[in-house]
C-alpha cells in the first residue's frame, strides 16, 4: 500500500479503538515517525493530510524540517528520541514538542535556553516504565520529583511518554502511565507504536507514535541532507 493508504488505515484503526474504549482521551493524535524517511515520503504524508511528525535525532530533523516547515502551514514536529544538553538550543529552535524530558540537568538546560532565547517547546516527561538500564527515561520512583522540578522552573510540561519493553505486555505499562498522569494532573499521554497503538488508545493515549506501519521498513542510515 502507499503511504497515504497506510495513513488512512491507521487513522481508521485509531477511530475504531477509540469507539471500543471505555474512557478514551478527548482526542488521539497520530504522530507519524519519520526517522530515516526522505523528504518525498514526508511530503506524501503531508499531501494526505498528516501534519504531526516525530523525529529521533536533532541533527536529522535539522536536515529535513526547516524547509518543510517553511512550505507547509500547521506542521508540528515532536522530538521522540533522547536529547543531549548540548543540543538544547537547536532542539528548542526547531521542535514544537519535546517528548523526552528525563532528568533534572535537561530541565535546567531547557529553562536556561528559554531565558536566553525565549523559546521552549511543549514538554512530555519520558518515564522508563520497564526500568531498563539501557533505555532513556526517568525511573518511575523518580518521576514525581522531576515533575515537581519542571513545574518549579515553570516549564510547559503537559504530559508523559513511555516505551514499554519489547518483550512485555504493554497494557500494564500504559495503565501505570495513565495513573501517574492523573496523579499529577497531566493531560497528555504519548504511548503506543506500530504494534500496540490500538491498545494504547484504549488506555487513554492522546498521542500515538507510528512509523513503520506508515512508511514501511526504515532505511539503515538516517537522512542527513
Q: Which pLDDT score is estimated for 225? A: 41
Angstrom distances, CA of residue 96 to CA of 12, 20, 52, 183, 209: 26, 31, 10, 25, 15
Q: Which pLDDT score is estimated for 219? A: 63
Answer whether residue 221 is part of any domain: no
Answer whether residue 220 is part of any domain: no
Q: In terms of residue numbers, what domain contains 21?
A: 3-215
Cβ-based burial of 79 (10 A; exposed 0-12, middle 13-18, buried ≥19): buried
Answer whether residue 63 is part of any domain: yes
Taking only the tens of pLDDT, the chain with its 225 residues reads 899 999 999 999 999 999 999 989 999 999 999 999 999 999 999 999 999 999 999 999 999 999 999 999 899 999 999 999 999 999 999 999 999 999 999 999 999 999 999 999 999 999 999 999 999 999 999 999 999 999 999 999 999 999 999 999 999 999 999 999 999 999 999 999 999 999 999 999 999 999 999 998 866 555 544
Answer whether residue 224 is part of any domain: no
What is the CATH number for 108? 3.20.20.10
Answer whether residue 55 is part of any domain: yes
Q: Which pLDDT score is estimated for 132? A: 93
Answer whether residue 54 is part of any domain: yes
Answer whether residue 191 is part of any domain: yes
How many domains are there within the chain? 1
Q: Which pLDDT score is estimated for 156? A: 98
Answer whether residue 225 is part of any domain: no
Start-to-end Cα distance in the chain: 26
Amino acid at each position: 500500500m502507499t503511504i497515504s493508504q497506510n495513513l488512512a488505515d491507521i487513522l481508521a484503526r485509531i477511530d475504531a479503538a477509540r469507539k471500543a474504549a471505555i474512557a478514551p482521551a478527548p482526542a488521539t493524535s497520530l504522530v507519524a515517525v519519520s526517522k530515516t524517511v526522505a523528504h518525498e515520503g514526508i511530503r506524501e504524508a503531508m499531501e494526505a493530510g498528516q501534519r504531526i511528525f516525530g523525529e529521533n535525532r536533532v541533527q536529522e530533523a535539522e536536515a529535513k524540517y526547516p524547509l518543510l516547515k517553511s512550505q507547509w502551514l500547521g506542521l508540528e514536529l515532536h522530538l521522540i528520541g533522547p536529547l543531549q544538553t548540548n543540543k538544547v538550543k537547536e532542539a528548542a529552535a526547531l521542535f514544537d514538542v519535546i517528548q523526552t524530558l528525563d532528568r533534572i540537568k535537561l530541565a535546567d538546560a531547557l529553562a536556561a535556553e528559554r531565558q536566553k532565547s525565549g523559546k521552549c517547546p511543549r514538554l512530555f516527561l519520558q518515564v522508563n516504565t520497564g526500568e531498563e538500564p539501557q533505555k532513556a527515561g526517568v525511573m518511575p520512583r523518580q518521576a514525581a520529583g522531576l515533575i515537581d522540578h519542571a513545574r518549579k522552573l515553570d516549564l510547559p510540561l503537559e504530559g508523559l511518554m513511555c516505551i514499554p519493553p519489547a518483550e512485555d505486555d504493554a497494557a500494564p505499562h500504559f495503565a501505570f502511565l495513565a495513573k501517574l498522569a492523573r496523579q499529577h494532573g497531566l493531560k497528555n499521554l504519548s504511548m503506543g507504536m506500530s504494534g500496540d497503538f490500538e491498545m494504547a488508545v484504549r488506555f487513554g493515549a492522546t498521542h500515538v507514535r507510528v512509523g513503520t506501519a506508515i512508511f514501511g521498513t526504515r532505511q539503515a542510515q538516517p537522512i542527513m541532507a
